[in-house]
Structure 1
Amino acid sequence: MDTQVADTLLGSLIDGRYRIRGRVARGGMATVYTATDERLERTVAVKIIHATQGSPGQAGRPSFVDRFTDEAKTIARLTHPNVVAVYDQGTHAGRPYLVMEYVRGRTLREVLAERRRLNPDEALAITEQMLAAIGAAHRAGLVHRDVKPENVLVAEAPSGGPANLVDSVVKVTDFGLAQAVEASTDHDSGNQLMATVAYVAPELVTDGRADARTDVYSTGIVLFEMLTGRVPYDGDRPIDIAWQHVDRDVPAPSTLVPGLPRVLDDLVARATRRDPTGRPGDAGTLLAEVQVARDSVGSPNSHTALIAPVTDGSAVSQPTMVVAPVRPHERPTWARLPEDGPPARGRRRAASGGGDDLRTRLAGLVARLPGEGSGRFAIAAVVVVLGLVAALGGWWFGVGRYTTTPELVSMTKAEAEAQASQGGFDVIYADPRYDDQVPRDGVLQQDPASSAKILKGGTITLTLSLGPERFELPDVVGKEFALAEADLLSAQLEVVKGTARYDDSLPEGVVVATKPEAGKEVKPGDEITVILSKGRAPITVPNLVGKNLNDARNQIAQLGLVLVEPTRKQSDKPRDEVIGQSPADGSGVERGAQIRLEVSEGPPLVTVPRVVDLPCQQAKQVLESQGFPVAVQFNPNAVTRFQNPNENAQVAPGTQITIGCF
């Protein structure tokens, strides 16, 4: 049991009604507590969604809360003995919660951890109850999406015996919770929720599509694990395990546990076919097949399987035992096949003594009729009528009630609906998916296919296009490569490493840039180049601004760096003084890196005005007004006869001008 002393919710009162008593378990999506409903004085389970799921703060987003509330209402309508009942829902401290039936027992994961694997009769009994619960959800239009041992609760058996699980009550939980999280994540954060990879269906990996057959696949994997004590695939990374479901067929359980009946291999193979169309259409269909398989395994005429003990040296409390027969009339009413009820027993009575009397009377009637004149005619008429009825019935059930499915692929949604309505067909929609060729709301696929047989007035399932899938490249700058790669792979992008480079602010192994840049529009399958940091470069660039060019050149050479031909700019700084540098001082660079300097050309030159022939004092005023110091020679009260520098000469500001007056 998961405990945490510092859990602040322990002892708190939720919604003025539910007093939190203890923590049962914490998972990736939510934490489950036991609580007392102080209004009805009963023990309940409270599941509180984590404050962070998929992206920060998602549990508090209005879109997630609304979706979660809708799913809770749907789950609450599932009234079935194998479904964990939902009593109430709400939010506490901004986090959604569910109030559910408290089941005293263990999860199937805990049972498998103790037993490793189960006997066939136990595995099939648990699978039957799982499928009964999931089938009820499918009939209500709800897909579980996350069927796994952690979501299957095994309550105490009514008989109280812990050794055999055949009599235990099984309840399935978390219906719709994965769908609520996925729907919010897709629209809010761009991430995609993937079911637990050990049990994920191939179509959920390749295109994110989930329907009732997705749950059928996951249930088949759970049955495989119960029979063998392990899941079919393993790997170092979750993404590797997920793609094995796409690329490989699930092995037969008997290859891992010799002696298992062939019918169990066939059942697992059918439930876990990679092509969804090859699986049973929903949990109810698979339930019927499991019940037939269970009857076959337990039949006195079938091959009796002896389960050998584990031989790998591990200690397992698994006795050698014979598969127990299962009598159909011993099943609860919710788990019986149609032929298991009273009509079947009626047929069995007809096949005994009562049947013999009926056959005797019919034989006597047939013997008497040919002896009478009208009898032969009656027989002929009966034969003709029966033949016509048989022919018409055969035609109706074989051909007459069917028609041809129209071609709806590539039509727009409106066109397809109009064409189907014209033929008298109903239209329902499967989950849409992206397609680069078919525009948005165009029909990608139909079931049944065009020209296939379909009942008159039947239903056609259409899959619409979402158009080309485009999304913004997620920002992975600042993340370690493993995390960045996982984010990009989850977005179905290809990842390649570019040439690493030094970076002053990011440590070695952290992403410094991507090509294309974050925020650019990409599509699944695009190749993303990830550039990693090599850390800070070994040489620190000194501060050269304010130094003379020759001094800066010597310092650069001593550090093993290369000075590019300086760029000269006019400045009020003295000539040859460094006024700018690149890279900036303090930057890290490698040996041999180029350093660029900006060097002052000195102040810009100014033009000397003409003051010759002006009175000496006036000439002095003109020059001083333009910033030139003036030296007067000879008679300061006379007329200016010469100047040095001469008029129109280009000199530096502040240059002294000498004038001669006489």
Structure 2
Amino acid sequence: MDTQVADTLLGSLIDGRYRIRGRVARGGMATVYTATDERLERTVAVKLIHSTQSQPGRAGLAGFVDRFTDEAKTIARLTHPNVVAVYDQGTHAGMPYLVMEYVRGRTLREVLTERRRLNPDEALAITEQMLAALAAAHRAGLVHRDVKPENVLVAEAPSGGPANLVDSVVKVTDFGLARAVEASTDHDSGNQLMATVAYVAPELVSNGRADARTDVYSTGIVLFEMLTGRVPYDGDRPIDIAWQHVDRDVPAPSTLVPGLPKVLDDLVARATRRDPAGRPADAGTLLAEVQVAREGLGNPNTQTAMLSAVADGPALAQPTMVVATVRPAERPTWARLPEGGGATRGRRRAVPDGDESLGSRLAGLRTRLLGESSGRLAVAAVVVVLGLVAALGGWWFGVGRYTDAPQLVSMTKAQAEAQAAQGGFTLRYADPRHDEQIPRDGVLTQQPAATDRILKGGTITLTLSLGPAKFPMPDVVGKEFDLAEADLVSAQLEVVKGTARYDDGLPEGVVVATKPEAGKEVKPGDEITVILSKGRAPVTVPNLVGKNLNEARNQIAQLGLVLVEPTYKQSDKPRDEVIGQSPADGSGVEKGAQIRLEVSEGPPLVTVPRVIDLPCQQAKQVLESQGFPVAVQFNPEAVARFQNPNENAQVPPGTQVTIGCF
């Protein structure tokens, strides 16, 4: 059990469903926790894949999450008693996770650490169940790529007793995980080898290719270790160990543990041949060989010879090497040999005595049919009819019921449905995905492919396009260029530098703007122009508001700035007084920068009322009530005979009006 130290996930709820209860183990690629599925009220194992954060930038690669999701779906379709079931998948805090069956038991690595090596019957029993799991995967087109004791779980034996490994249930885990991580590292780490070097097949080292025979090789190495207590090669560096698989043959287990039967040496040699063509084609083929070997080892004479041969050899952790007799009828249904296989293979079955009378009767019938002409004609007719039926049946089942799949790729969804309906086909839709070339709802792929054979009226699976992958432009304003560039590159955007400009609020080298702006829709591969700050400009704009236009013009010229033609606006300020400016005072600008001023054109004009022929005192009151200062000439007690400005004249507010009274 891994020590739980300051693990922030303990007690947390993932995806609103899985309550983390404890940490089971932590490895190079993932950490395994026990959790409670609060929806179904069962204990599960949660594997959190953290290797995507071990190398900068990998977590941002959409390819890894997509490949991991695809692998999880494939693994979930594997239904087999020796495969750890996958229930769910998702992401938590940017890290993908799998929800799996919780197996109560130990890894084969822990068993070997405790026992060092196993009896042949135990080793073969575990190998059988490993191969049964791998055979199911190979039939589904899935290659494990990382078979090793750490990925083999030995559950508690149904018959009880921790040492009874023959009856233990073995489950294989981590199908496809190495492949998903390897696919995400190809771009960054130069095809780094995602396999454990002690068990890696030669072809994975030399050319990076893997198929079902790769898993066969790794299983052979695991069998070697169970029989001998060690792996065949060691070295100071992992690469040295890996290349020994390419350059050397795996030694026979009996060279390390004298007395092991030759059939075990042959099994290991067959499974670990350096040339993949020399190995069993897949795990199912090797499983049949292991079962035959195990049944042969159950022979009492073989057991006696083994006990005698190992009497002076190294002691096992358990005191016996007796191989349990295994009869085909006692195997679970998933591990039984076909009828006539195993120990009975190659031997003709004796005919029971009771069948001889039936044979005599059949011989008599043959004589009667072929001895008469009518009988011979009847037999010939039957043969002809049966031949025609066989020919027609063979044509129908082999050719007649098939047709060619139509070409649907690049069509729109509606066009594909119409074309399929015309041919009588049924359509299914796989998960859609983004594509830069095919527009949304266009057909990306079809299965079976165009012109491939398909049953008339069969089902065609289509994958539709989501169109180009678009997302909001990241906001990098205010970040230094290196950080902004890293964010944009991780989003698969192309970065170019634009012309830098002065900015009063941001220091030199910091992003002041981007084209397109933050929040605009972009897609992978788009070119983003980044504009950096040159810092504060060298000239500070003075405060010109409240100054006369001529005074402001002189001050602007002295600073080496350029005054744009002023804009006049109505204002209660005196005419030619500056009432606004751009840029604002205190702003930094370069020499030669343009300054724009708003200038008052004075208050709105008012109309002078008529006061002629009014008594002088009344005329004065009328003018003053409308805001005009009044100057009276001659006799204040007389009648107003003239006024200046004249009646209805348009004058600025506060203009003095002179009246003459006599």
Q: TM-score range by the shorter chain?
A: 0.5 to 0.7
Distance in 2 between residues matched to 1:87 and 1:521, nearest whole Å: 32
- Give the residue type in structure 2 aligned to 1:327: L
2:446 is matched with which residue?
Answer: 446
Q: Secondary structure at the match of 1:620?
A: helix
Where do residues 221-240 of structure 1 align in structure 2 (5 Å cutoff)? Answer: 224-226=193-195
Distance in 2 between residues matched to 1:3 and 1:590, nearest whole Å: 61
1:561 is matched with which residue?
Answer: 561
Distance in 2 between residues matched to 1:478 and 1:150, nearest whole Å: 49
Distance in 1 between residues matched to 2:220 and 2:22, nearest whole Å: 44
Residue 632 of structure 1 deviates from its aligned partner by 1.0
2:307 is matched with which residue?
Answer: none
Structure 1 gaps, min length 5: 54-67, 109-124, 161-166, 176-194, 206-217, 230-252, 254-259, 272-285, 300-305, 358-372
Residue 516 of structure 1 deviates from its aligned partner by 3.2
Note if contact 1:78-1:85 (Cα within 8 Å) is conserved in structure 2. Answer: no
Whether 2:184 is the aligned partner of 1:200: answer yes
Whether 2:525 is the aligned partner of 1:517: answer no
What per-residue deviation string (whole Å, max 9, x for no partner) do you get for residues 614-651 of structure 1? 33223212321221111112111212233334445554
Residue 309 of structure 1 deviates from its aligned partner by 5.1
What per-residue deviation string (whole Å, max 9, x for no partner) do you get for residues 458-514 of structure 1? 442222244566555454444554555455556554443322223334444444333
2:84 is matched with which residue?
Answer: 83
2:630 is matched with which residue?
Answer: 630
- CA 1:644–1:138 in structure 2 vs 1: closer, same or farther (change >3 Å)? farther
Where do residues 290-309 of structure 1 align in structure 2 (5 Å cutoff)? Answer: 290-291=215-216
1:302 is matched with which residue?
Answer: none
1:594 is matched with which residue?
Answer: 594
What per-residue deviation string (whole Å, max 9, x for no partner) do you get for residues 154-180 of structure 1? 46889x9xxxxxx997522899xxxxx
Residue 432 of structure 1 deviates from its aligned partner by 2.1
Residue 421 of structure 1 deviates from its aligned partner by 6.2
Note if contact 2:82-2:170 (Cα within 8 Å) is conserved in structure 1. Answer: no
Distance in 2 between residues matched to 1:310 and 1:77, nearest whole Å: 38
1:620 is matched with which residue?
Answer: 620
Distance in 2 between residues matched to 1:474 and 1:107, nearest whole Å: 48
Residue 308 of structure 1 deviates from its aligned partner by 9.2
What per-residue deviation string (whole Å, max 9, x for no partner) do you get for residues 546-580 of structure 1? 23445544544554433334333332223443211
Q: Secondary structure at the match of 2:617?
A: helix
- Give the residue type in structure 2 aligned to 1:498: G
Distance in 1 between residues matched to 2:433 and 2:8, nearest whole Å: 42
Structure 2 gaps, min length 5: 54-68, 110-125, 156-161, 163-168, 225-231, 252-264, 273-281, 292-335, 352-369
Distance in 2 between residues matched to 1:624 and 1:634, nearest whole Å: 19
Whether 2:373 is the aligned partner of 1:433: answer no
| Matched-pair identity in % | 57
- Give the residue type in structure 2 aligned to 1:449: A
Note if contact 2:435-2:465 (Cα within 8 Å) is conserved in structure 1. Answer: yes
Distance in 1 between residues matched to 2:538 and 2:233, nearest whole Å: 66
Residue 84 of structure 1 deviates from its aligned partner by 6.6
Distance in 2 between residues matched to 1:573 and 1:581, nearest whole Å: 15
2:267 is matched with which residue?
Answer: 327
Note if contact 1:578-1:597 (Cα within 8 Å) is conserved in structure 2. Answer: yes
Note if contact 1:575-1:600 (Cα within 8 Å) is conserved in structure 2. Answer: yes
1:244 is matched with which residue?
Answer: none
- Give the residue type in structure 1 aligned to 2:571: S
- CA 1:518–1:149 in structure 2 vs 1: closer, same or farther (change >3 Å)? farther
Note if contact 1:24-1:33 (Cα within 8 Å) is conserved in structure 2. Answer: yes
Distance in 2 between residues matched to 1:438 and 1:447, nearest whole Å: 17
Q: Secondary structure at the match of 1:581?
A: strand
1:573 is matched with which residue?
Answer: 573
- Give the residue type in structure 2 aligned to 1:429: Y
Note if contact 1:563-1:594 (Cα within 8 Å) is conserved in structure 2. Answer: yes
Where do residues 48-63 of structure 1 align in structure 2 (5 Å cutoff)? Answer: none
Distance in 2 between residues matched to 1:36 and 1:452, nearest whole Å: 47
- CA 1:423–1:307 in structure 2 vs 1: closer, same or farther (change >3 Å)? farther
Distance in 2 between residues matched to 1:133 and 1:352, nearest whole Å: 27
Q: Secondary structure at the match of 1:598?
A: strand
Distance in 2 between residues matched to 1:635 and 1:458, nearest whole Å: 120
- CA 1:598–1:422 in structure 2 vs 1: closer, same or farther (change >3 Å)? closer
- CA 1:98–1:467 in structure 2 vs 1: closer, same or farther (change >3 Å)? closer
Note if contact 1:80-1:133 (Cα within 8 Å) is conserved in structure 2. Answer: no
Note if contact 2:78-2:137 (Cα within 8 Å) is conserved in structure 1. Answer: no
- CA 1:20–1:395 in structure 2 vs 1: closer, same or farther (change >3 Å)? closer
Distance in 2 between residues matched to 1:628 and 1:534, nearest whole Å: 56
Between Structure 1 and Structure 2, how many residues are aligned?
A: 501
2:463 is matched with which residue?
Answer: 463
- Give the residue type in structure 2 aligned to 1:541: V
Q: Secondary structure at the match of 1:225?
A: coil
User: TM-score of the superposition, structure 1-length normalised?
Assistant: 0.54
User: TM-score of the superposition, structure 2-length normalised?
Assistant: 0.54
Note if contact 1:32-1:46 (Cα within 8 Å) is conserved in structure 2. Answer: yes
Q: Secondary structure at the match of 2:173?
A: strand
- Computing the radius of gyration from Cα coordinates, the structure with the larger value is 2
Q: Which moved more, 1:453-462 or 1:410-419?
A: 410-419
Q: Secondary structure at the match of 2:195?
A: helix
Q: Secondary structure at the match of 1:199?
A: helix
2:284 is matched with which residue?
Answer: 336
Residue 583 of structure 1 deviates from its aligned partner by 1.1
- Give the residue type in structure 2 aligned to 1:461: T
Note if contact 2:108-2:153 (Cα within 8 Å) is conserved in structure 1. Answer: no
Note if contact 1:605-1:653 (Cα within 8 Å) is conserved in structure 2. Answer: yes
2:102 is matched with which residue?
Answer: 101
Q: Secondary structure at the match of 1:327?
A: helix
Q: Secondary structure at the match of 2:584?
A: coil
Whether 2:585 is the aligned partner of 1:585: answer yes
Q: Secondary structure at the match of 2:619?
A: helix
Note if contact 2:78-2:85 (Cα within 8 Å) is conserved in structure 1. Answer: no
Q: Secondary structure at the match of 1:637?
A: coil
- CA 1:612–1:75 in structure 2 vs 1: closer, same or farther (change >3 Å)? same
Distance in 2 between residues matched to 1:296 and 1:6, nearest whole Å: 35
1:171 is matched with which residue?
Answer: 173
1:653 is matched with which residue?
Answer: 653
Where do residues 209-608 of structure 1 align in structure 2 (5 Å cutoff)? Answer: 224-226=193-195, 261=202, 268-269=208-209, 271=210, 286-287=211-212, 290-291=215-216, 322-323=249-250, 327=267, 335-337=283-285, 340=289, 346=340, 399-400=399-400, 402-409=402-409, 413=413, 416=416, 420=420, 425-434=425-434, 440-456=440-456, 458-466=458-466, 472-482=472-482, 484-485=484-485, 488-489=488-489, 492-557=492-557, 559-608=559-608
- CA 1:264–1:472 in structure 2 vs 1: closer, same or farther (change >3 Å)? closer
Distance in 2 between residues matched to 1:564 and 1:491, nearest whole Å: 44
2:112 is matched with which residue?
Answer: none
Q: CA RMSD in A?
A: 6.6
Distance in 1 between residues matched to 2:578 and 2:447, nearest whole Å: 77
What per-residue deviation string (whole Å, max 9, x for no partner) do you get for residues 345-381 of structure 1? 95687886759x9xxxxxxxxxxxxxxx99xx99x99
Distance in 1 between residues matched to 2:223 and 2:20, nearest whole Å: 47
Note if contact 2:205-2:243 (Cα within 8 Å) is conserved in structure 1. Answer: no
- CA 1:620–1:7 in structure 2 vs 1: closer, same or farther (change >3 Å)? same
Distance in 2 between residues matched to 1:44 and 1:434, nearest whole Å: 33
Q: Secondary structure at the match of 2:531?
A: strand
Residue 659 of structure 1 deviates from its aligned partner by 1.8
- Give the residue type in structure 2 aligned to 1:199: A
Note if contact 2:427-2:460 (Cα within 8 Å) is conserved in structure 1. Answer: yes
Q: Secondary structure at the match of 2:618?
A: helix
What per-residue deviation string (whole Å, max 9, x for no partner) do you get for residues 375-411 of structure 1? xx99x99999999999889867764564222344455
